[in-house]
């Protein structure tokens, strides 16, 4: 099992630039989650999808953030324009069924630094 694959692993860019984070969930998993982790706020759920459909995006901080899941094997999280306060580690996770029954499996994250 390849696990959840995220790219890039590290991203450093200047504020104002567009940032796109990518995620490939585990094959056969139909739920996908995007999280942000910072020292101050810990792990925060940003948005999650079931069967490629966004279910809850209440954690998305502002309109600068958007996420898509065009098919079952790919999702993107985009920040435009980026700001220094967006610096964090962004994780993608997937689960085979509803999270209340099955644990979410995480990728190794994208460490994002906005200068």
Partner 1 sequence: GESVGLHLPTLSVQEGDNSIINCAYSNSASDYFIWYKQESGKGPQFIIDIRSNMDKRQGQRVTVLLNKTVKHLSLQIAATQPGDSAVYFCAETSNFGNEKLTFGTGTRLTIIP
Q: Which of 1, 2, 42, 70 binds partner 1 (CB under 8 A)?
A: 42
**Spatial contact of 101 and 1, defined as CB atoms under 8 Å apart:** no
Segment interacting with partner 1, rule: CB under 8 A, options 20-28, 67-75, 76-84, 90-98: 90-98
Q: Which of 18, 55, 83, 84 binds partner 1 (CB under 8 A)?
A: 55
99 binds partner 1, rule: CB under 8 A: yes
Would you tell me which residues interact with partner 1 (CB under 8 A)?
A: 4, 31, 33, 42-43, 45, 48, 50, 55-56, 91, 93, 95, 98-101, 103-109
């Amino acid at each position: 099992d390849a696990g959840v694959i995220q790219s890039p692993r590290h991203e450093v860019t200047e504020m104002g630039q567009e940032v796109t984070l990518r995620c490939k969930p585990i094959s056969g998993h139909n739920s996908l989650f995007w999280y942000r982790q910072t020292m101050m706020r810990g792990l925060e759920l940003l948005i999650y999808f079931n069967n490629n459909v966004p279910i809850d995006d209440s954690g998305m901080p502002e309109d600068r953030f958007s996420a898509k899941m065009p098919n079952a094997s790919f999702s993107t999280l985009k920040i435009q324009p980026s700001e220094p306060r967006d610096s964090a580690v962004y994780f993608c996770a997937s689960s085979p069924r509803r999270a209340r029954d099955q644990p979410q499996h995480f990728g190794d994250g994208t460490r994002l630094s906005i200068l």
